[in-house]
Amino acid sequence: MDLNELKFLSDEDKDRYMKLERLWSQPGWALVIELAAQLAATHKDRATFAQTWEANRMALGSAFAYDHISRLQELTEAEFEQKVEAARTANRDADEEENE
């Protein structure tokens, strides 16, 4: 997200996004993502071959959680982009009302 987009966020969201960007730029973050993706795949396999319904549900729940962690940056960026787009639309609508 560039500075032109950040200006549409509230100060709280801007601060939160900048902190997350610093986290994502850390070398260890790539390792977290890689491990979470591997664990998601492992747990999906466990769900496939689970002996009981309970074991299947536990494995699928774990797989979902690890998958979410592995896509956390992508999902969070999308959330912030939606906020920016909503603010842009609100500003555009306000400008159009002023010009009428």
For residues 54-83, average pLDDT:
97
pLDDT surpasses 90 at 92: no
Domain encompassing residue 19: 3-99
- Compute the distance between CA of residue 17 and CA of residue 3 in angstroms, rounded to an integer: 12
pTM for the predicted model, two decimal places:
0.79
Confidence of residue 97 (pLDDT cuts 50, 70, 90): confident
Tell me, letter by letter, the H, E, C secondary structure of 2-51.
CHHHHCCCCHHHHHHHHHHHHHHCCHHHHHHHHHHHHHHHHHHHHHHCCC
- Compute the distance between CA of residue 17 and CA of residue 44 in angstroms, rounded to an integer: 31
Query: Into how many domains does the chain fold?
Result: 1
